[in-house]
Structure 1
């Protein structure tokens, strides 16, 4: 799209009370200092945005005279459309006009914004404006028209393994998300790997404590089995003796019980033997007849006979048990118990040694598992590190390709879009150099040429052709003709203001 300035009308704008400028392909503005040369191009951004050519606030008030109203109008052509825009200030109030129709500020702004973007317009109109912006804004303004290299293009320039990994991952996630995932993963795995190393070391140290186990496990098992066999045999003997002693004690207890019964029986015999036969009834005290007395005597005799039979029976049973007891033997098992205790005690070191072998087996398995976990964690950690390094390489190559792409737009200028930090990361940067010198160190003529080259690149990339204003044109003898209308301001000593419209 091409923007063409046709006619500019100025009324009471700074030093110009009434001035009309007709623009050609080249418009030359010459004159001595303080003749209002720079005011003419300043009028154009003030009309559109209320600023000077650098985007700063501008006071259009008359300088050497008084006037009630300041007004500027511009007839311009944008593509195939012609529009007349006007702005004025009267008694402190700003007035807007579109095709001579009074408009509100927002309506006027909308019309201008639809024509072109403010930043790009000022950058194309005033070659020096671009360099007044912050470097991040300069960078963004240039790169908004330059597409970044496609992922596939960047991957083709990476080492095969890195390209293969990233190519697969980029099918599922963006590069930013991949980096977030693996940065978080690396942080987690770093801690996990340190913990895994510590666990492996601790378990190995525990295992090393058992390295003095010189006796084979099988020998220990044979020896302990022999001891256990002896213990079982002696315990079986102890059980057998205990059963016999139990029988002995039981028989002895029975004999004592019978002896007690015999003694009690002996005590009852005198009472039974000397029991007096009464001739009267114990209940009614009546005299008993001879037959009844005889019956009482016979009943006593029966009781005495029964007593004697029972008493003799107990003695016979006791004597029989005594004979059995005499044939039995009571064995003291204290010595046998002590033998069993000592045998069992002698097996404790063997059992402890066997237990140590069990711990060695367990610790060996734990060491192997810990080492495997440590190895797996290291593999995962190295994978995340490799992916992060691949992303770093991707960004570096992307930056390199993008820089090459941007650099290819310029003929004499060098553009720095990135700088490499100490950690290898690429950091955004923007600096323009000419012949190895940064813009801030260029001479006036070098700065103008650099501005014109940047301006032409922005024009080509944005597909927008805007008139360009070159101030202090007397400082450069020659420069490449920029695209679009050219407005030149040149100081000529002793000359009044002169405006020339020159065909290309």
Structure 2
């Protein structure tokens, strides 16, 4: 049920040059007269009473400037859904006085009482159709969209998937993008999905960076793999070959060790022979020293002559020592000869060829083991390359998925914008409404608002065309807001079309050389 506001009576005193005037409103109230007679002032009085503004929502002071006055007063009696209320706003000295039904009110209480009937934007847009077009486009859009129900999700998803104009909405199979969004929006809003996928820390940015990192890692690992030896056809043959080489090396090593034992024994005998030779020479020297001793015939200490027995004893002692030294020398010579015989029976073994052969085998073994190690490295690195490639594939798939979701959201919002614009546009007959701007750089539709009539912007319309545009817009706002208030058309003489309003109409027409005349007309009910 629409809320209906009807004006009953307006009384002004010292209001914008009108010293004292009363208006009894009818279904149609015509204000005529020459310029400066107060037609616009009478039309301005209601918004000033309600909001302290002019017809266009600007702060306004109706205080006279060409004569002295005591008080500025404007009083409006109206019918609000069958209840008669009188609103009054006065300027008394430097103070604004607010009165409802003869009782002074605070500014807050007065504003609250007005707000119970309507908002400033709703009232001014319906009362003065030109007001709407003076607002910023965001305010215009907000007001048009305020009571417009957006298309439901199922409708948008269906229209996204439409392949033929003849399809019934319920029979349209959803395309992959619509199917994906239907599932995702069960747990998250579109705004949540956009933030999740393309926000500052969204998946798209993270996956793009990760995909670049994955590509770089795959390239690096591939370069490392390419530097390794080519893969062998049968690595088991290499293992068998290294086993054979190890066995050969072991056998040669055993031969070298056996030869070394012989050579070490020969060296020991050789060393013992050299020591024995020195011992023989030493024994010989000791023997010759005794052999060459002279037998004295006097005591070396006292020089007294020795007797025959003493000389004999000395001679026997010398011979005894000679015999002992001769035996010692003979034993040492015997030992030396035994060592010489032993050494003569020991032939030195030359192991240089064995060493060279073993080193060559070890080199071959090491080369093969290097190949085996390289094959193991190749296998491990190949696994890393495969894992890096798979990670790259997985990341790219995830990136494509998030791009697919974002593209689906763009498609959804584009279709939603198209449906919403068509829905709003269907409310108008001659006005063209644009609710969105398409941004090529982002591929998205951004909120916007503009009104044209016959391809012309509102600012380019004539006065009569502006009135026509305003009347059409007012009709739409009446339907959307369920609010009916009087409509004031100033400059009605510039308009030749049909005037259709939902209830009271107040017009202002300039008539040369005529004093202000107020005429009312009541419809037959």
* Larger displacement relative to structure 2 (214-223 or 32-41): 214-223
> What does residue 473 of structure 2 align with?
454
Please give the residue correspondences for 1:89-238 in structure 2 after superposition, counting only pairs within 5 Å.
89-159=91-161, 160=174, 161-183=176-198, 184-208=202-226, 227-238=245-256
Aligned to 2:344: 326
Bigger mean CA deviation after superposition, 39-48 or 380-389: 39-48
* Residue aligning to 1:487: 506
Aligned to 1:478: 497
Distance in 2 of aligned mates of 1:304 and 1:185: 113
Bigger mean CA deviation after superposition, 226-235 or 14-23: 226-235
- Unaligned 5+ segments in structure 1 are 277-298
Which of 38, 41, 48 aligns to 1:39? It is: 41
Tell me how far apart the structure 2 counterparts of residues 155 and 268 of structure 1 sit (CA, whole Å). 127
Distance, in Å, in 1 between the alignment partners of 2:399 and 2:405 is: 10
Q: Using a 3 Å threshold, how does the CA distance of structure 1 residues 458 and 314 change in structure 2: closer, same or farther?
A: farther
Instruction: Determine whether 1:336 maps to 2:338.
Output: no
- Provide closer, same or farther for how the CA distance between residues 427 and 303 of structure 1 changes in structure 2, counting only shifts above 3 A: farther
- CA–CA separation in structure 1 for the residues paired with 2:232 and 2:283: 75
SS at match of 1:163: helix
Counterpart for residue 10 of structure 2? 8
Instruction: Tell me, yes or no, if structure 1 residue 242 matches structure 2 residue 242.
Output: no
Of the three residues 444, 468, 471, the one matched with 1:425 is 444
User: Which residue of the partner structure matches residue 293 of structure 1?
Assistant: none
Secondary structure at 2:484 match in 1: coil
What is the alpha-carbon root mean square deviation over aligned residues? 3.6
Aligned counterpart, 2:405: 387
Residues 167-209 of structure 1 show CA distances to partners (whole Å, capped at 9, x for unaligned) of 2221222211111111121111112212222333344444445
Q: 1:308 to 1:154 in 2, by over 3 A?
A: farther
- 1:474 and 1:338 mapped to 2: Cα distance? 124
Aligned counterparts of 1:94 and 1:381: Cα–Cα separation in 2: 64
Moved more, 37-46 or 491-500: 491-500
Determine which of 455, 460, 467 is the counterpart of 1:436. Answer: 455
Q: Distance in 2 between matches of 1:389 and 1:116?
A: 42
Task: Supply the distance in 1 between the matched residues of 2:137 and 2:159 (Cα, whole angstroms).
Answer: 29
d(CA) in 2 for partners of 1:269, 1:83: 163
Which stretch shows the higher mean deviation, 362-371 or 94-103?
362-371
- Aligned-residue offset at 1:218: 5.9
The Cα shift of 1:39 comes to: 0.8
Structure 1 residues 489 and 248, CA, compared in 2 at 3 Å: closer, same or farther?
same
Q: 2-side partners of 1:113 and 1:502: how far apart? A: 30
CA distance in structure 1 between the aligned counterparts of 2:233 and 2:66, rounded to whole angstroms:
116
Q: CA deviation at 1:438?
A: 2.7
CA distance in 1, matches of 2:86, 2:457: 41
The residue that corresponds to 1:285 in the other structure is none
Deviation at 1:110, TM superposition (A): 2.5
Is residue 465 from structure 1 mapped to residue 503 from structure 2 by the alignment? no
TM-score by length of 2: 0.82
Pick the aligned partner of 1:73 from 72, 75, 83.
Answer: 75
Match of 1:409 in 2: 427
Alignment partners' CA distance in 1, 2:361 and 2:12: 125
Report the 3-state secondary structure (helix = DSSP H, G, I; strand = E; otherwise coil) of the residue aligned with 2:452: strand
Compute the displacement of 1:308 (Å).
8.6
Task: Note the residue ranges of structure 2 that are not aligned, 5 or more in a row.
Answer: 162-173, 296-316
Q: CA deviation at 1:141?
A: 1.4
Structure 1 residue 120, shift from structure 2 partner: 1.3
Q: How far off is 1:469 after superposition?
A: 0.7
Q: Shift of the alpha carbon at 1:257? A: 5.0
Is residue 229–residue 371 contact of structure 2 (8 Å, CA) maintained in 1?
no
- SS of residue matched to 1:8: strand
Q: Is the 8 A contact 2:15 2:74 kept in 1?
A: yes
Contact 2:12 2:19 in 1 (8 A): yes
TM-score by length of structure 1 reads 0.85
Cα separation, 1, equivalents of 2:30 and 2:439: 48
Q: Secondary structure at the match of 1:86?
A: strand
Q: Residue 211 and residue 325 in structure 1: after superposition, are their counterparts in 2 closer, same or farther (change >3 A)? A: closer
- Output the CA distance in 2 between the equivalents of 1:351 and 1:341: 15
- Residue of structure 2 equivalent to 1:291: none
Deviates more, 1:194-203 or 1:183-192: 194-203
Aligned partners of 2:286 and 2:325 also within 8 Å: no
Local SS of the residue matching 1:115: coil
Q: Give the 3 Å change call, closer, same or farther, for CA 388–305 of structure 1 in structure 2.
A: farther
- Residue 311 (structure 1) shift: 7.3
